[in-house]
Structure 1
Amino acid sequence: MRILDNRYRCDPKAAAALAALDGVEVVEGDVRYANAVEGAMRGVEAVVHLAAVCLNKSISDPTESLDVNLLGTQNVLDAAARGGVRRVIHASSASIYGNATSLPTHEDTPPSPLTPYCTAKLAGEHLLSFYAKRSKLSWLALRFFNVYGPGQQTDAYYTSVVLTFLRRLAAGEAPVIDGRGEQSMDFVHVTDIARAVGMALDSTASGMALNVGTGCQTTIADLAAHLIRALGMDVQPIFRPREVLVTRRAADIGRIRETLGWEPTIGLEEGLASVIEHLKVTGELN
C-alpha cells in the first residue's frame, strides 16, 4: 500500500504509525503536481482518492479549492488511466445536492452545488466517467454525508461540528450554534466510512455514485444537547443570527445497500461516545 499525502492536515503520530506498518509506504507529495501523482501511482492496481480542501475554505479561497479539488482530481484520474490502474474509488460528497428538495435524498436527485468545493466534487464524478470511457478504469464515487469520528480536525465547521462543540465544552464554554439550530445533518461514523471504502474496492460494480450516510437526521441543537448531557455540564448553547448554508440533510442508502451490501453499524450515541473517549485518552477532555 502506498499513501500520497502533502501532510497539510496530517497528524504526525498517525503518519508515523502508518509508515511503520509492514507493506505500507508513505510518500510526501501533492495532487496538484502531476509528476508526484504519476510517481506515486506507479505499479498501483487500485486508488482511493481522498485528497481535498474543505468546503469552508473553498468559499474564502475558490482558486485554491478548484486547484486541489478539481485539477488535483484530474491529475489523479489521468495518471490512473495512463498507468493502467484497474479501479478508482472517489470520495465525493453529499454537498453536491445543495439544499436537497426531498429527504431522504436519492442519488438521482438533481445536483445543486452551492460552493466551489461542491462544484469540484460533482465535476470529479464526471471526470471519472470521461476517463473510464477511454481506458479500462472501473470506478465508484462515494457521496459521503457528515463524517465524524476520533482524530478529526476542526478546520471545517460543517464537517467537524461534533469536535468543535466538544472542545468548547472541554474549555467550559457553551456550544455556539448558527441560526436557531434547526438545520439537520446525517452523521456517519468514520469506521462505517472506512468499511464502505473497503467494500467499494472489492466490488465489481462500476460507473455509479453511492450515498454513504445513515438516513437519520440530527439537528444541530439536538447534537449540542446530547453532548452537554454526555459530559454532565450545566450550560446552554449560544445561538447567533447567521445564515446557514444547508438546512436539511439525510441520505437515501438503498442503492449502496443493494450494490455493496453496506449498512451503517454505529449509531450516533455510540459514535459520539467514541469521540469523547478519544479526547479523554489524548488529554483534550478531562
Structure 2
Amino acid sequence: MELKGSKILVIGGAGFIGSFVVAELLKEDIAEVLVYDNFARGQRSYLDEQLKDSRCSIFPIGGDIREVDILNEAMAGKDYVISLAAMWLLHCKDFPRTAFHVNIEGTFNILEACVKNNIKKLIWSSSASVYGDAVELPMTEDHPFNNKNFYGASKIAGEAMCTAFNDRYGLEVIGLRYMNVYGPHQDQTAAYTGVVPIMLNKIEANESPVINGDGSQAYDFIYVEDVARCNVNALKSDTKFGMYNVGTEVQTSIKELCDTILDLKKSELKVIYKPYSADDARSLVQNRIGSRVKAEEELGFRYKYELRDGLKKLIDWRIDTGVDQKK
C-alpha cells in the first residue's frame, strides 16, 4: 500500500511504543502525522525530535479515547489510524472498571470513529495476553485464549469488536499481539513498570535483583523499535484484516534475562530468588513465545534486534537521559 501524501492519526503517539511509531512513520513520504494522547502515560519529551519535523504535531485540545466528539474532530480528514492507547496490565488489575471504559469502550469509540470518518485502515494494538499461558510453543495466532486477567480480557473484547466492525462495515483492521516489549520510553520507575526496568533499577542501585520462583519462566522479548516498524509494515501491507503476533520466537527465561543484564552492567551482584505470592501464583503465565511466521509471510515483518543488542541500547539510553540518577 502506498502511503505517499497520506495523513495519519496516531492515538497514544506520545507513549512508550507510540513515540517510536511516530518516528518510524516520519521516514515515509507522508503529509501529516497527528498525535492524539491524554498524556496519562505518554510524555511530550518523547516526541522532541519528531516535532522538529513540520509534518508532525500534537492535537491541541486533549486526546482521550473516551471523549467521542474530540476523537472525531482529531480523526476528521485522516487517511489512516494507528491506535496504541490502553491501560496497562497491572493497572487494569487494580482498576478494572476504568480498564473497561478505556480499553473496551475506548476501542469501540475508535472503531466507530473510523467508520464515521471513512478511515482506510486501522492498526490496533492487541497483546499476547489474550493467550494466557502457552499450551504449545511457539504459539501461533490460532492458539486458544487462556487469559485470566482483566487486561487480557479487554484485549479479547477489542479483537472481537474489530472483527465485528470489519464484517459489518468493511473496516480494514490489523490487530497486533505484542509479546514482551522493552526499550526506551517504557516507564522506568513507576509502580506499574515492566520486568526489565525493575531489574535495571535494582542493579543500578547496587541491590540484588529479585526473581520470583526459580527463574525458569520464559517469554518472548522484543525491542520497541522492532514493534514500531511492524506497525508501519502492517499499515503498508495489502492485508485488509487479521490478528498477528509481534515477537521474535526466541525463548528467554527470566534467569537468562537477568544474567544478560548483569553481564552488560558488569555487575557481581547475586540474584535473590523468592516464592510467588498466592495471588501471583494463581494467575502466573509461565511460558509465552509467539510464532513469527504469519507476520513474516503476510506483513513482511521480521525483528532486527537480538535481546542483548536491544538491552544495550536501553542501558545507553538510561545513561544518556539520566534515568539512573533519578531513582
> TM-score normalised to the size of structure 2?
0.84
Equivalent residue of 1:239, what SS? strand
Identify which range, 236-245 or 37-46, moves more after superposition. 236-245
Q: Which residue of the other structure, out of 283, 287, 297, is the alignment partner of 1:258? A: 297
Alignment of 1:1-286 (within 5 A): 1-27=33-59, 28-154=62-188, 155=190, 160-242=194-276, 243-244=280-281, 245-285=284-324
Which residue identity is paired with 1:60?
Answer: D
Distance in 2, Cα, partners of 1:200 & 1:77: 17
- Matched-pair contact (CA < 8 Å) for 1:151–1:278: no
Which residue identity is paired with 2:122?
Answer: V
- Matched-pair contact (CA < 8 Å) for 1:55–1:156: no
Superposed displacement of residue 63, structure 1 = 0.6
Structure 1 unaligned segments of length 5 or more: list them. none
Superposed displacement of residue 156, structure 1 = 6.8
Distance in 2, Cα, partners of 1:16 & 1:136: 37
Superposed displacement of residue 18, structure 1 = 3.5
Which residue identity is paired with 2:201?
Answer: R
Superposed displacement of residue 234, structure 1 = 1.3
- Matched-pair contact (CA < 8 Å) for 1:184–1:219: yes
- Matched-pair contact (CA < 8 Å) for 1:213–1:253: yes
Corresponding pairs, count: 285
Superposed displacement of residue 136, structure 1 = 3.8
Distance in 2, Cα, partners of 1:83 & 1:132: 15
Distance in 1, Cα, partners of 2:320 & 2:213: 33
- Identify if the C-alpha distance between structure 1 residues 156 and 198 changes in structure 2 by more than 3 Å, giving closer, same or farther: farther
- Matched-pair contact (CA < 8 Å) for 2:130–2:156: yes
Distance in 2, Cα, partners of 1:199 & 1:274: 22
Superposed displacement of residue 17, structure 1 = 4.0
Equivalent residue of 1:134, what SS? helix
Distance in 2, Cα, partners of 1:261 & 1:236: 41
- Matched-pair contact (CA < 8 Å) for 2:46–2:185: no
Superposed displacement of residue 135, structure 1 = 2.4
Identify which range, 9-18 or 46-55, moves more after superposition. 9-18
- Matched-pair contact (CA < 8 Å) for 1:276–1:285: no
Which residue identity is paired with 1:101?
Answer: V
**Alignment identity in percent?**
33
Distance in 1, Cα, partners of 2:170 & 2:289: 34
- Matched-pair contact (CA < 8 Å) for 1:54–1:156: no
